[in-house]
Amino acid sequence: MPLLMIKSILICLLLFFPSRSMFGSAEANKAVTEFTLGNEYLLNRADVLKGLNIAVLTNQTGITRDGTHIVDALISKGINVAKIFSPEHGIRGDENYSDVDEKSGKPIISLYGGKNKPTSSDLAGIDAVVYDIQDVGARFYTYTSTLYYLIEACSENNVKLIVCDRPVVIDPDYVDGYVLSEGFTSFVGTIPAPAVYGMTCGELALYLNSVVYGGKCTLEVSRMQGYQRNMDYDSLGLLWVKPSPSMFYPSTAVCYSASCFLEGTNVSEGRGTDKPFEYLGAPWVDKQALADELNSYGLSGVIFKPVTFTPSEKISAYPPKFFNQECNGIFISVTDKRKFEPVKAGIAILAALRKLCPEFRLNKDNFIDKLAGTDRLRKGILGGLSMIEIIAEWQDELETFKSVRNQYLLYK
């Protein structure tokens, strides 16, 4: 075979499998072989579910390593899946909130919009609910709120909850941001935790059940096997399925906790481009000045690069900011995920925009308060506080949270 053809094939393979480590060490390959998702561990002992009426709260991310959906896998094991609950974006992540899953024929009950919590009628006759969703480790990602209300519903109706655990996409040891303040609860801020809480969904469920519900829910975490906190998500060889329409890649999730704050401003967070949450800007931004300002802050694990982009894709039900308009801004280029601190980067971006751009505005509806979980961020930005001054505001509450969080960590 010609050498050029061999090189072309290898390049295609690398492009097709971007999240897989193809040429890792023997130790890394062994770790991947021994690694088991929480849903796979549950399926390996599915006999414990036989004879029970099961509901499943999941979406398109609820798959095993070979891509089999949890609903299909349970049915193939002879488990009676009575119904499916779906979070924001629907069961297939396409904003289709149909009442029946086309593939399995099972009824679907949406837990987004008009109803965020299963009712007693929804859970009547259900023996256990299986939860299997990949989140991105941020409080304002609505799947955390869905989990919160599911635990409440199961505890109130004496229904067992089984949470299939999944790895953290970002650094599992990173915890940062304001802790949700009383009076600022919303569907993008329900769990009593900082903006980034550093827990798997199973660990978060244990924390919520204990701290919020006093352990009233009969909760079981189907743990991952062979998982450690020092494992990089990209090294696990998992298929990446977008958890939400604009969460294109694992790298999107890494930057999400920085740039999501821009949803409360008049600056584009990159929706409608090929790098949402990694690109940000507006037509009136001086991209070089913004990049220079942010790089002068000396943030670890990241370089801010000037970029020009045009939001031209309508991915969800709403057009992105500055649709079909050329924007100038920055590309958040993460050089080391273990050193990158996205919440601090997000504060730096807000402070820099406030300093450099007279056109910069916070939205009048104060949506940024819901994202931050407090009004202190908004007041700090408008008051001209520096990044360091704003970050200092949450350190005491963050340390208190960390001490409690440590009690619920399942993986070292």
pLDDT at 315: 81
Q: Which of 211, 204, 142 is nearest to 371 (CA)?
A: 142
pLDDT tens digits along 173-189: 999 999 999 999 999 99
Q: Are 286 and 328 in contact (CB under 8 A)?
A: yes
Q: How confident is the model at residue 318 (pLDDT cuts 50, 70, 90)?
A: confident
Give start and end residues of each alpha helix (H) in 296-382.
342-356, 367-372, 376-382
Please give the distance of CA 205 from its chain centroid, rounded to a whole number: 15
Q: Which residues contact 187 (CB under 8 A, 6 or more apart)?
A: 116, 142, 145
- What does the alpha-carbon distance between residue 71 and residue 147 come to, in Å, rounded to a whole number? 18
pLDDT at 6: 35
Please report where in the chains the tokens 């704050």 appear, as a residue: 261
Beta partners for 304?
332
Q: Which of 151, 404, 135, 378 is nearest to 261 (CA)?
A: 378
Q: Looking at the domain that runs over 250-374, which CATH code has it been given?
A: 3.90.1150.140
Three-state DSSP string of 154-194:
HHHCCCEEEEECCCCCCCCCCCEEEECCCCCCECCECCCCE
Q: Say whether pLDDT at 58 is over 80.
A: yes
Q: For residue 86, how many other CB atoms are within 10 A of its CB?
A: 25
Q: How confident is the model at residue 33 (pLDDT cuts 50, 70, 90)?
A: low
Average pLDDT over residues 209-216: 98
Q: Say whether pLDDT at 101 is over 60.
A: yes
Domain spans in the chain, listed from the N-terminal domain onward: 33-240, 250-374
Q: Which of 267, 262, 283, 271 is nearest to 327 (CA)?
A: 283
pLDDT at 17: 35
Tokens at residue 75, please? 């049915």
CATH 3.40.50.12170 fits 33-240, yes or no: yes
Element housing 27 (H / E): helix 26-34
Average pLDDT over residues 343-351: 98
pLDDT at 95: 66
Q: Are 278 and 251 in contact (CB under 8 A)?
A: yes
Calculate the alpha carbon distances from 361 to 15, 257, 282, 357 in Å.
39, 20, 11, 9
Mean pLDDT of the chain: 92
pLDDT at 93: 65
Give burial (CB, 10 Å; 0-12/13-18/19+) of 106. Answer: middle
Q: How confident is the model at residue 94 (pLDDT cuts 50, 70, 90)?
A: low
Calculate the alpha carbon distances from 296 to 133, 290, 310 in Å.
38, 10, 26
Q: Are 285 and 334 in contact (CB under 8 A)?
A: no
- What does the alpha-carbon distance between residue 226 and residue 224 come to, in Å, rounded to a whole number? 7
pLDDT at 92: 72
pLDDT tens digits along 246-298: 999 999 999 999 999 999 999 999 999 999 999 999 999 999 999 999 999 99
Give burial (CB, 10 Å; 0-12/13-18/19+) of 33. Answer: exposed
Comparing 411 with 21, which gets the higher pLDDT? Answer: 411
- Bridge pairing between strands 108-110 and 128-132: unpaired
- What does the alpha-carbon distance between residue 405 and residue 96 come to, in Å, rounded to a whole number? 36
Q: For residue 293, how many other CB atoms are within 10 A of its CB?
A: 19
Average pLDDT over residues 98-119: 94
Q: Are 134 and 190 in contact (CB under 8 A)?
A: no
Average pLDDT over residues 405-410: 98
pLDDT at 294: 98
Q: Say whether pLDDT at 19 is over 60.
A: no
Average pLDDT over residues 203-216: 98
Q: Judge if 33-240 and 250-374 fold alike in CATH terms.
A: no
